[in-house]
Structure 1
Amino acid sequence: MRGAYGGPRVLLRRLREVMAEPVTAQERLDRIVVLIANNMVAEVCSVYVLRGGGDLELFATEGLNRTAVHATMMRKGEGLVGLVADEAEPVNLSDAQSHPSFAYKPETGEEIYHSFLGVPILRSGNTLGVLVVQNKSHRTYSDEEIEALQTTAMVIAEMIASGELGGPEDPSLAGRRPSHAEGQPLSEGLGLGHVVLHEPRVVIKKLIAEDSAAELKRLEDALASLRTSLDKLIDQSEVARAGEHRDVLEAFRMFANDRGWGRRMQEAVLTGLTAEAAVERVQSDTRARMQRQTDPYLRERLHDLDDLANRLLRELVSPGKGMTAELTQLPENAIVVARSMGPAALLDYDRTRLRGLVLEEGSASSHVVIVARALGIAAVGQIANATGLVEGGDAIIVDGVSGDVHIRPTADVERSYIDKVRFRARKQEQYRALRDKPSKTKDGAEVALMLNAGLLVDLPHIVETGAAGIGLFRTELQFMVASSMPRTAAQQQLYRAVLDAADGKPVTFRTLDVGGDKILPYMRNEPEENPALGWRAIRLGLDRPALLRTQIRALLNAAGGRDLRIMFPMVASVSEFDEARALVRREHARLVRHGHPLPSSLQLGVMIEVPSLLFQLDEILARADFVSVGSNDLMQFLFAVDRGNARVSTRFDPLSPGFLRALQRIAQKAGETGTPVTLCGEIGSRPLEAMALIGVGYRSLSMSPASIGPVKAALLDVDAAELAAFVEPLLARSDGAHSIRAELKAFAAKRGLQVEP
């Protein structure tokens, strides 16, 4: 090499010229390997590209037999080339043939070469191929030569990822080949469409620098701006106090100020890359290494580093606006892919074009998933590196039943799923045929099937599904999607529209359940170490009575001349319900004084979701007009499981004997006092779980619109008395069983019951 960094700069300058030539992609690649060989005084330079199925194909070479191009294939992990692809790390050897991984391919004529340097061709942490140089002499390549080869590999990665090498008729290259991932099904349905990245990756249009000094200055300015913005974020009053959140933010700031991170990007710029390309190059290398770590802490830190890199790229592209993101224009059939997101963010998208959601994180009871179900879109979570596996616009299929995600699917897979969509459509027709049938078990037990709702888009489902009413209307969604606090008139308009759509069927309005992980953007948020157990729902409402009073006033005015049911969430003690009830009575008295129309009836209820109420059932049932069981939070609190934490959210089964005993006790106590009880929550949305609820005494269930058909089809064929007799001894046994799911499935199978949606 001609002095430190001299060679790489010359190489990149000549690469820029080659990239601008009007030749085919294959011709360009052939010229690139010649250029690299000459620049690095190497007798061999070869490019291997990863094909579908994990095979590495020799795509271009200078020095090996040309007849081996497109003929020599190696499996990922086979030979030294396969080792580089598998480990995503450079391999630098002075005597390649003595290495245990060396694999001889006679058609290449490489047996005369001893030294070997191979680097992975990486993009977004994914290996697309391998770039190799070889020499006859025994030598170890220098750090500068490794750096030059890695930088060149980045240029080749863009050629592969664009599909330029194979053309649109050849999608099997690693960057474009079909891919399959298995995750956790979160919202049932099938979504066929095209990828929209929730946080769109910054597209780097210019990789090779014309002025390295200017690029270095741009990088340093962007780093300084990034660090300043993080300092302001962390030191502002809302998050300045000590606590776990502060430690997390300080660690984030530490990464941003890490000298090693900055130095690696500066060195990449000095090789001839633009500042943006240097950031992407360093982060791609880091991502490739960290994805192979088994330590969960290190793997989680990858998210922090990805976030930092994305912020820095945005700072480079739009100085001073690095933290802002533009909403992507949706294609006709959009599948949103994200690491994680909140419910309000999902609602920002045009729901008429949204077909599916893929998350790296997320659990079945997280709030964004609840909204996805309300919108009727398929959702899958726990897809590792989902945002790195796809590009915006990629064809994608989301199977919310099995948890499968197919990226750039083959024609066969696509046809198979089109058939599945048609089959589901026929099944939905069967469910629609049940719409007007009475919701009764075989032995005549009536079971009211209600809707969970929270948006105007949910309201047509009342008629479509034949639901008995709305068992849970989440009023907070109106607040979460608004840019400012909804005025009383706006709230009143929504509540009246809900009652109009219900057309006399019962509607249970749950008062604001905000706080915790449901943050209103226009309200000051005080960070809490345990937000799910903190200042939220009725606690916030009673401490900010003006907020709750405004909502109660809107509800009472909207219901003039009609029945009104109001339910309070997160009640932990009888005194909280007493206080909330007194507030409603004062607002009711105010309407009377001013001569406003009154609801024809007013019922006040409690959502049982805090375990303390299990030991105050006699007192609360004596006061409340009705109760609803919030099974999502009740299970979360009973098992001390964060339902948004994917590591533990599936650790306990809702069909565990302990949880079912708690639900049974509520149903029995409510029956003794004649208090109506409804179960709202995901456990009631699945046919098998709904059977268990019927078995422990529930006769009113509230669920997502898509669940009513499958649940109704199951209950029409079941005998409630037989089911109760079957479940009772399972709950009474003392063998410490984790779940009764297997026994319940066997019961259903023996009787030919339809428990799969």
Structure 2
Amino acid sequence: MRGAYGGPRVLLRRLREVMAEPVAAQERLDRIVVLIAANMVAEVCSVYVLRTDGDLELYATEGLNRAAVHRTTMHKGEGLVGLVADEAEPVNLSDAQSHPAFSYKPETGEEIYHSFLGVPILRAGNTLGVLVVQNKSHRTYSDEEIEALQTTAMVIAEMIASGELAGVGEGFEPATRRPAHATGLALSEGIGLGHVVLHEPRVVVKKLIAEDSAAELNRLETALTGLRASIDVMIDEGDFARTGEHRDVLEAFRMFANDRGWGRRLQEAVLTGLTAEAAVERVQSDTRARMQRQTDPYLRERLHDLDDLANRLLRELVSPGKGMIPETTQLPENAILVARSMGPAALLDYDRTRLRGLVLEEGSASSHVVIVARALGIAAVGQIENASALVESGDPIIVDGVSGEIHVRPTGDVERAYVDKVRFRARRQEQYRALRERPSETRDGAKVSLMLNAGLLVDLPHLAETGAAGIGLFRTELQFMVAASMPRTAAQQQLYRAVLDAADDKPVTFRTLDVGGDKILPYMRAEPEENPALGWRAIRLGLDRPALLRTQIRALLHAAGGRDLKIMFPMVASVTEFDAARDIVRREHARLIRHGHPVPSSLSLGVMIEVPSLLFQLDEILERADFLSVGSNDLLQFLFAVDRGNARVAGRFDPLSPAFLRTLARVARKANEAGRPVTLCGEIGSRPLEAMALVGLGYRALSMSPAAIGQVKAALLDVDAGEISAFMQPLLERRDGAASLRAELSEFAARKNLQVEM
């Protein structure tokens, strides 16, 4: 423990008095620098604020020429002040003018001062400005003085963040409100304009200065004890009370919570005169500022853990016993949800009528929360690094689910451009809706069924809205994933009947439960696997747990009594797996007849082509299955050995590569020769250029997200199926090793004036 800390506590008490005075923000800041200089026996105290244009502006000073206030500026990185802002670390020098970064500003009159102490003004790890003290004598400031200045800087940070301080003109406001832009991964198409809602909102610390440091220390210790105990219970008695990767992650989390260094820094911050909450925020802001500048990805990833830990401790201080429970948030109109990651059930807990967008620090195009976001029709962007720290609750934000960009606190020009873009998209959607009743066929009369991918009741209205030909893929696992416990047979039956009712006479293809791998049910024990995508999942799990598959099949057969029923099995790797699954269906069907229950008027059983091994058993499977569905997302993943959830490699191979197109062409040709219907489900079918290519390969049924139906139909109405097929044939036979045929297909579309580039 360092020093006596008497000085900082006295300074904070006086600061509290100044902050309570009913004066304008600039006058309050002027009084603060006078107070700091007197308390630290410094001849100069100055505050520099980072502006929206990236420059640091002198906002207040005691000791320098006051005429320089709002006139003296320097770039971030320029001079000693710029160095502090750039590094987000204190700079303590006994002879400032001999330092290579020293920058002389003649209007300030600072040439007579030698010693220099500058500390960053930080909030949530972001630099808002720099606080400086200087003396004429050559001296090195003590640890207690550095601590005092850092603590005071935190108080000034809240003042800057409040927006009270005004700039000298438009574009020169403090940078807390400066626009921010980030590019990530487009996950769900659309554009959302609204205001930020943090999925796990940070606790807003309103009281910074303590009245009784001993009492605050006791509060801190009690909260730390409660936090550590809640983590112990979660690990040792909860769902993670077993070995595996999840427990290892939580054990590391427990290690951080019990770290003595972290606890000591929190105690020291309290002893400077801060409240327990302010101490947590101060320590985490310093930590965040350091770790954001690390290049080691492992260390940067640990920042998420430390942020989470600090937020849980703040909640424990505010509401003892609830450190592990995030606060709930009342949604504003036009809410944009920002989260590190979240599950589909959590997204459905929000009022969907107010949600306009979703921003994730993680997330991939095939993650389940994204599937739900598409069903809800909200724009989503993922892979936005430190998104939660980039924004504050209530910030205006734009989410571009087409380009994968977000704009936080956008300028007027950007906002107006996006308002125009939204209007243009709305007009386009009106044009697509006008095509709803038109038959979906190419210019030369080839009929192409455009169907929906669905999985929740909220998807069903899209059938009528889009004029889709049916549901080509109903993901039954989503019902299981958003439920708190295993859905009973009656609940499953009720959902399947509602889907069939909504579809009326349109076909619906139900995919049996596709869980396991990355689709972990909260109420099922997960076995740790090194390669979960290749592990115990989908039909493998269903055949090993036949009671689970039988229950689902029974619910489907009951729900479809007197109607047509189509069932397909996912992740089939061999004919014997399909045979085993088909036998279960036949036994359940016979059981219903035996007990006098209504049965479907027709029953078709199909298989998803996702696993490459099945490509070499097509003749055998086509003798048994009534139809095929190509799961293009997984087939592409397995064909190229690429994890589609890994942002580093997910886009490495183009679905319009000759290898993948030849594979798809072979499946279509074999199915057509055998007289079996084949549908393609997956992202490739939802993009106009790719859809055109699929028609050229012989596909006449595509299943896609609701938002894609209009644009794909509009594109295919102008396509000549015979022409595109003839154009593609020689391309597929080329042996030049091309990685993609995208350029050739785009050139063909441009030559034919086809509107397929989206």
Same topology, TM > 0.5: yes
Give the C-alpha shift of residue 149 in structure 1.
Answer: 1.1
Give the C-alpha shift of residue 331 in structure 1.
Answer: 0.8
Residues 280 and 314, structure 2, Cα contact 8 Å, conserved in 1: yes
Deviates further, 167-176 or 463-472: 167-176
Alignment correspondent of 1:614? 615
Give the C-alpha shift of residue 463 in structure 1.
Answer: 1.4
Is structure 2 residue 135 aligned with structure 1 residue 143?
no
Alignment correspondent of 1:477? 478
Residues 366 and 643, structure 1, Cα contact 8 Å, conserved in 2: no
Alignment of 1:22-41 (within 5 A): 22-41=22-41
Alignment correspondent of 1:115? 115
Alignment correspondent of 2:693? 692
Alignment correspondent of 1:270? 271
Is structure 2 residue 306 aligned with structure 1 residue 305?
yes
CA–CA separation in structure 1 for the residues paired with 2:737 and 2:232: 52
CA–CA separation in structure 2 for the residues paired with 1:742 and 1:296: 35
Give the C-alpha shift of residue 13 in structure 1.
Answer: 1.6
Alignment correspondent of 2:228? 227
| Cα deviation 1:565-604 (Å, max 9, x = unaligned) | 1111122222222121111112111221222222111111
Alignment correspondent of 2:570? 569
SS in 2 for 1:146: helix
Q: CA 1:673–1:720 in structure 2 vs 1: closer, same or farther (change >3 Å)?
A: same
Alignment correspondent of 2:518? 517
- The residue type equivalent to 2:229 in the other structure is T
Alignment of 1:321-332 (within 5 A): 321-332=322-333
Q: CA 1:169–1:704 in structure 2 vs 1: closer, same or farther (change >3 Å)?
A: farther
Alignment correspondent of 1:80? 80
Deviates further, 634-643 or 301-310: 634-643
Residues 76 and 85, structure 2, Cα contact 8 Å, conserved in 1: yes
Alignment of 1:452-463 (within 5 A): 452-463=453-464
CA–CA separation in structure 1 for the residues paired with 2:507 and 2:168: 55
Give the C-alpha shift of residue 387 in structure 1.
Answer: 0.5
Is structure 2 residue 363 aligned with structure 1 residue 336?
no
CA–CA separation in structure 2 for the residues paired with 1:468 and 1:3: 76
| Cα deviation 1:473-515 (Å, max 9, x = unaligned) | 1112222222233232222222122112212111101112222
Deviates further, 224-233 or 425-434: 224-233
Residues 361 and 646, structure 1, Cα contact 8 Å, conserved in 2: no
Give the C-alpha shift of residue 546 in structure 1.
Answer: 2.4
Is structure 2 residue 676 aligned with structure 1 residue 679?
no
Give the C-alpha shift of residue 170 in structure 1.
Answer: 7.7
Residues 46 and 60, structure 1, Cα contact 8 Å, conserved in 2: yes
| Cα deviation 1:290-344 (Å, max 9, x = unaligned) | 1111221111111121122222222222222211123311111110001112222
| Cα deviation 1:648-680 (Å, max 9, x = unaligned) | 222222222222222222222212211111111
Residues 343 and 368, structure 1, Cα contact 8 Å, conserved in 2: yes
Alignment correspondent of 1:103? 103
- How many residues matched? 756
CA–CA separation in structure 1 for the residues paired with 2:169 and 2:425: 31
CA–CA separation in structure 2 for the residues paired with 1:625 and 1:367: 29
Is structure 2 residue 444 aligned with structure 1 residue 417?
no
Q: CA 1:502–1:3 in structure 2 vs 1: closer, same or farther (change >3 Å)?
A: closer
Give the C-alpha shift of residue 89 in structure 1.
Answer: 1.4
CA–CA separation in structure 1 for the residues paired with 2:268 and 2:61: 28
CA–CA separation in structure 2 for the residues paired with 1:158 and 1:526: 47
Gaps of 5+ in 2: none
Alignment of 1:419-458 (within 5 A): 419-458=420-459
Alignment correspondent of 1:128? 128
Alignment correspondent of 1:199? 200
Alignment of 1:647-726 (within 5 A): 647-726=648-727
Residues 365 and 682, structure 1, Cα contact 8 Å, conserved in 2: no
Q: CA 1:490–1:243 in structure 2 vs 1: closer, same or farther (change >3 Å)?
A: closer
- The residue type equivalent to 1:5 in the other structure is Y
SS in 1 for 2:628: strand
CA–CA separation in structure 1 for the residues paired with 2:90 and 2:523: 50
Give the C-alpha shift of residue 363 in structure 1.
Answer: 2.0
| Cα deviation 1:273-300 (Å, max 9, x = unaligned) | 1222111111111111111112211111
CA–CA separation in structure 2 for the residues paired with 1:559 and 1:168: 70
CA–CA separation in structure 2 for the residues paired with 1:246 and 1:462: 43
SS in 2 for 1:577: helix
CA–CA separation in structure 1 for the residues paired with 2:70 and 2:169: 16
| Cα deviation 1:442-497 (Å, max 9, x = unaligned) | 22222111101112221111111111110011112222222233232222222122
- The residue type equivalent to 1:359 in the other structure is L
Give the C-alpha shift of residue 182 in structure 1.
Answer: 2.0
Alignment correspondent of 2:467? 466
Deviates further, 386-395 or 24-33: 24-33
Give the C-alpha shift of residue 167 in structure 1.
Answer: 9.6
Residues 167 and 174, structure 2, Cα contact 8 Å, conserved in 1: no
CA–CA separation in structure 2 for the residues paired with 1:404 and 1:244: 32
Could you state the TM-score of these two structures normalised by the residue count of structure 2?
0.96
Alignment of 1:619-630 (within 5 A): 619-630=620-631
CA–CA separation in structure 2 for the residues paired with 1:644 and 1:370: 13
Deviates further, 540-549 or 33-42: 540-549
Alignment correspondent of 1:51? 51
CA–CA separation in structure 1 for the residues paired with 2:168 and 2:455: 44
Alignment correspondent of 1:5? 5
Gaps of 5+ in 1: none
CA–CA separation in structure 1 for the residues paired with 2:639 and 2:222: 51
Residues 64 and 109, structure 2, Cα contact 8 Å, conserved in 1: yes
Give the C-alpha shift of residue 243 in structure 1.
Answer: 4.2
CA–CA separation in structure 2 for the residues paired with 1:649 and 1:220: 46
Residues 238 and 527, structure 1, Cα contact 8 Å, conserved in 2: no
Q: CA 1:493–1:66 in structure 2 vs 1: closer, same or farther (change >3 Å)?
A: same
Residues 48 and 58, structure 1, Cα contact 8 Å, conserved in 2: yes
Q: CA 1:734–1:98 in structure 2 vs 1: closer, same or farther (change >3 Å)?
A: farther
Pairwise CA RMSD: 2.1
SS in 2 for 1:322: coil
| Cα deviation 1:592-626 (Å, max 9, x = unaligned) | 12222221111111112222222222222211111
Identity of aligned residues (%): 86
CA–CA separation in structure 2 for the residues paired with 1:98 and 1:731: 69
- The residue type equivalent to 2:406 in the other structure is V
CA–CA separation in structure 2 for the residues paired with 1:517 and 1:584: 26
CA–CA separation in structure 1 for the residues paired with 2:15 and 2:517: 53
CA–CA separation in structure 1 for the residues paired with 2:169 and 2:204: 24
Give the C-alpha shift of residue 199 in structure 1.
Answer: 0.9
Alignment correspondent of 2:545? 544
| Cα deviation 1:701-726 (Å, max 9, x = unaligned) | 10011101111111112222222233
Give the C-alpha shift of residue 244 in structure 1.
Answer: 4.0
Residues 470 and 702, structure 1, Cα contact 8 Å, conserved in 2: yes
Residues 244 and 529, structure 1, Cα contact 8 Å, conserved in 2: no
CA–CA separation in structure 2 for the residues paired with 1:476 and 1:334: 28
Residues 70 and 168, structure 2, Cα contact 8 Å, conserved in 1: no
CA–CA separation in structure 2 for the residues paired with 1:407 and 1:349: 22
- The residue type equivalent to 1:508 in the other structure is T
CA–CA separation in structure 2 for the residues paired with 1:729 and 1:101: 64
Give the C-alpha shift of residue 522 in structure 1.
Answer: 2.9
Give the C-alpha shift of residue 439 in structure 1.
Answer: 1.4
Give the C-alpha shift of residue 388 in structure 1.
Answer: 0.5
CA–CA separation in structure 1 for the residues paired with 2:87 and 2:739: 40
Residues 621 and 675, structure 1, Cα contact 8 Å, conserved in 2: yes
Give the C-alpha shift of residue 218 in structure 1.
Answer: 2.2
CA–CA separation in structure 2 for the residues paired with 1:412 and 1:121: 30
- The residue type equivalent to 1:452 in the other structure is N
Residues 182 and 407, structure 2, Cα contact 8 Å, conserved in 1: yes
SS in 1 for 2:160: helix
- The residue type equivalent to 2:9 in the other structure is R
